Each structure stands twice: as C-alpha cells, then as structure tokens.
Amino acid sequence: MREPVTVIGAGLAGCEAAWQLAQAGIPVVLREMKPRKKTPAHHADLFGELVCSNSLRSDQLENAVGLLKEELRRLGSLILRCADEHRVAAGGALAVDRTAFAQAVTDAVRSHPLITVEEGEVTALPETGQVIVATGPLTADALAGDIARRFPGSTALHFYDAAAPLVTFESIDMDSAWFASRYDKGTADYINCPLTQEEYLTFWRELCAAKEAPVHGFEDRNVFEGCMPVEVMARRGEQTLCYGPLKPRGLRDPKTGREPYAVVQLRRDNAGGSIYNLVGFQTHLTWPEQKRVFSLIPALRQAEFVRYGVMHRNTYLDSPRLLDRYYRVRTEPRIVFAGQITGVEGYVESTASGFVAALELARRLEGKAPIDFPPETALGALALYVSNETVEHFQPMNINFGIMPPLGYRVKGKRNKNAALSQRSLEILAGLEELGTRKKAYL
C-alpha cells in the first residue's frame, strides 16, 4: 500500500488536491480543523465553504477567469463540477447556492474510498512524507508560526479581505427596484436598486463618515484591490463608487427609460432566491453602522440583514522566493503549498493551484515527468506568476490576460482579442499528450 499524502485544509484548494490525488489512485489523509475550530470568517462545518461572495465570477471565455474555469472543467475539476451542479442565476457569472455547493464538495470528498478525513488542528508541518498545505489566508496561528520558522520571511506579507452583507428578498422594496442584467446580457438575474444624485450624495457622505469596526493593524494601503471595502473605495473620491460597484452603465430603469445616477446591484445567494448579497459591498463597518448606512439605499430602507459584512486579515507567502511552478517549496519539494496562502487570489484561482499541485505530485509519485502548463494557458500563467523570482513586490493576483503572452498578431476589439487568447489556450490544452488519459477519463 502506497504511503498516503497528507493534505492540510479542506477549502477549495485542499479538496481539489485531495480529490485529484485520490482519483489518480493515491491515498490521502485530509486534515481539517473544522468543526472543532473555525477561523473568524468561517461559519459552517462543511468543506469548501465560500466565505465571501457566492460568485466564482465570469463564466465567459472573453474573461480570463472564464477561461480558467473551462480549463479546469476539461480536466475533471471536482470544484467546478459541484459549482456547475449548484449554480444559481447570475447573468454571465457562475454563482452558486453556497450551502448546497459546500455540501456537494463535502459529500464527494468524504465518500471517496481513498480519502481519510482526520479532524483537528494541525500545529506544525509533518517532518516526513509528502504534504500539500492548503490552509488558506487565515492559517491558524500555531501552524503559521511553524511555517514562518521553517521558511523565514515567507509569511511576512499580508492584506485584508472583506465579505459583503446578505439581505432577505422579502425585505427588499421591489417598488423601488427592478430585475435586470447589465446591458440586458443573459437573463434578468440581478436586483437593481437606483439612487438619484441627491440620494447618492447622502449615502456617499454617510458611508465616508461611518464608524469602522476595529481591525488590528488595519491600514487602507494594505487592502487588496479585488476585495476593497466599499467605505475605503468611497474615501477615494465622490465619484469613485459610480465607476465601481454603483456603476449605472447598461442599466435602464423601466420606470423612466433612463440610466439612474447610481445603482446598487443585488445577486441571488441561494438557489431558492430568498437571500441576496450586496454586490461589491465588502465592508468592515460596525454592524449598527452597516444597518444605518446601507438602509439609506431606497430599496433597502426596510432590509432584513441575515449576515453583516466582516473583515479579516489574509496572510500569504512570498511565493516567488519560496515556490516553483508546481507550487513546491524549492528547497524542500516534498512540501507543496496551494490556495490563497500562495498569493493566488480568488475561488477559481485557489482551485487551480490545488489542481496543479496535486497533478504534479501524483505524476512524481508515479515516476512520471511533470506537466508544464505553458504560459499561454491560464493554469500555466497563474503558476508561473506565483513562482516568478523577478517579481520584487509580490501581491495577490487574480488570473488575467495581462500575465499571458500576447497573440503575436492583431485582433480588432478587446472581446475578440480575449476570445482568441482563450481559443489558443484551449487548443494548446487539447494538444498536451500527457493529459490524454485524464481527458478521456473525464470528458
């Protein structure tokens, strides 16, 4: 019997890694501290819990994260399979019923005959054996301390992340709002809450002045741009929100036939449509202030908040100095990291890192050469960015076409160019002979 691989952490990256190893015939011991202990951002006992938005972002191939999803789908990703099975309406995005999704991930992992789940906190890295560390950006203090001692300087970086509030559908004033998607793209999946100029300016002023919850060591400059708290964004200028989460472009109020001055969008958070989240409203205001300020939005004057926004510190490695393109520790390759602790940012990106880490480890244990996903693929571009030693000031990164090589020929229009970049990637993926068996097994 082959010695099992230890996977620490049952988030998206850890579950994907454990599943891929087990599917390759390699036994796995999955260590997870829930339900005995939870981070400040976690609430459920389930694996694969989505702690911020329930959206995995765009599902279109003209968007880099849409390409990354498609690559993972074609290679048999557990996380993408569960997400597709439990998606909720969200226009051109892939959003999920977060509880049903997490339950599906949990059931798949726990029922796999080659995965053994061991509950309880891991306080130190195993001294022997193969291990994938996927403990996320809220790695518990004891383990984070052990990692810092073993790899000095690797955990010195951090940023702050935030989650948006949730409200009940029945408490939304639909006389003041309407269903639509921007530019009527896809189906009318978003609730749009308009504000006049006067209403917007009142909201903006109160938001800028609202009381924030204490977050130890918080500074605006440490906020990751992709999860910018709405009050931090507001402080950048009176019109900043109108070009961000309150952008009215492509949203015509059916009552007036015109675009409002500003629009707050709400997206369905569960399959039944009873709960909606405030899109782009990550925040670390105190809970009473969230109720007071967000109720200034006309359609939310009587809103029932079932979860207020929260903010927490996210820690990540100085990966370019520590990891190679397979997410292995350069000086100790039996230890592999995956997920947001590596500096990949986003649900899909975390899943992708777990997939690549597990695929390389499985092939190594089978005596096979690794698969080098080229930079023209989203999987390869992300791994190469994280391990690029020339990056001096490393910051968390969402997948984007900017870290992929250009086409080498001119294509008119950004969407057409992005579609061509995606087509190139999928053609390269289809041509990788090493993936032949895997593709036949899953497609």
Question: Position 85: which residue type?
Answer: E
Q: Name the DSSP class of 370.
A: P
**What whole-number percentage of the chain has pLDDT above 90?**
73
pLDDT number for residue 40: 62
440 has pLDDT over 50: no
pLDDT number for residue 274: 86
pLDDT bin (cut points 50, 70, 90) of residue 261 is very high
- Residue 98 CA to chain centroid, in angstroms? 13
Looking at domain 5-155+317-442, what is its CATH homologous superfamily?
Answer: FAD/NAD(P)-binding domain (3.50.50.60)
Distances (CA, A) of 348 to 26, 77, 80, 210, 345: 24, 10, 8, 33, 8
* Angle, in degrees to the nearest 10, between helices 347-365 and 378-386: 90
Every domain of the chain and the residues it spans: 5-155+317-442, 163-312
pLDDT number for residue 351: 98
Helix then strand then coil, % of the chain, to nearest 5 = 35, 20, 45
CA nearest 12: which of 67, 68, 60, 63? 68
Per CATH, which fold does 163-312 belong to? Answer: Elongation Factor Tu (Ef-tu); domain 3 (2.40.30)
306 has pLDDT over 90: no
**Structure-token pair, residue 137:** 């950006």
H helical segments located in 335-413: 347-365, 378-386
Residue numbering of the annotated binding site for FAD: 9-14
pLDDT tens-digit map of 371-387 = 999 999 999 999 999 99
SS3 262: strand
SS3 404: coil
pLDDT number for residue 393: 74
CA nearest 379: which of 435, 437, 335? 435
Q: What is the mean pLDDT of the chain?
A: 90
**pTM for this predicted structure:** 0.77
pLDDT tens-digit map of 85-129 = 999 999 889 999 999 999 999 999 999 999 999 999 999 999 999
For 57-86, the DSSP string reads EE-STTSHHHHHHHHHHHTT-HHHHHHHHT
pLDDT number for residue 195: 98
pLDDT number for residue 442: 35
pLDDT tens-digit map of 206-239 = 999 999 886 544 444 555 556 688 999 999 999 9
Residue numbering of the annotated binding site: 9-14
pLDDT tens-digit map of 131-187 = 999 998 888 889 989 999 999 877 666 776 777 899 999 899 999 999 999 998 878
pLDDT number for residue 128: 96
